[in-house]
Amino acid sequence: MRVNYLNSMNTSASALSAYRRWMNTVSENLANAQTTRTAEGGPYRRQEVAFESIAGKKETQESRASTAATPARTHPDHMTPAARPTGSVEDAPQVAARVSTDNETPFVQVYDPSHPDAGGDGYVEYPNVNPVTEMVNLILASRAYEANVAALAADKRMQEMALSIGKV
């Protein structure tokens, strides 16, 4: 079985990027929680983040057959080009964050006839941002980010230990 040691680092790095994007989106939501007028008109609409896994390249039956016949301890330079492992960092699963606008949650209506954005009935539409929900999301995103940093550090330590085995 061929393993590219950079795959786990690449997966953690893509997760770090996705969680950073989530934290930035939550920060933007919190910053605009009281914005009643945007350039598009109307109050700010909450942004949501959805995560999706983007699998690495699919291994074909042909590539599986060629690597299955390869002895595990043969150096790639001693193999025929067809039998050499062809794995790359791009084979690692990736995590992507997609940002979308929350158009389903209604705006918050507050009666304030003195507000410049109040309608004819005296009500002001405030963004559909709940600060408590956003703070919970921010904590979740930061904890997930920290967990991925720890996984990256553990992977680095394991690779350093593996490299030091032959130095004894």
The pLDDT of 116-136, averaged and rounded, is: 95
Residues 54-112: pLDDT tens digits?
765 444 444 444 444 434 444 555 555 554 445 444 556 677 888 999 999 999 999 99
Report if residue 159 sits inside a domain.
yes
- Count CB-CB contacts under 10 A for residue 87: 18
Q: Give the confidence band of 34 by pLDDT, cuts at 50, 70, 90.
A: very high
Domain boundaries, position 127? 6-56+92-167
- Domain assignment present for 35: yes
**Considering its fold, how many domains does the chain have in total?**
1
Global pTM value:
0.71
Does residue 26 surpass a pLDDT of 50?
yes
72 lies in some domain:
no
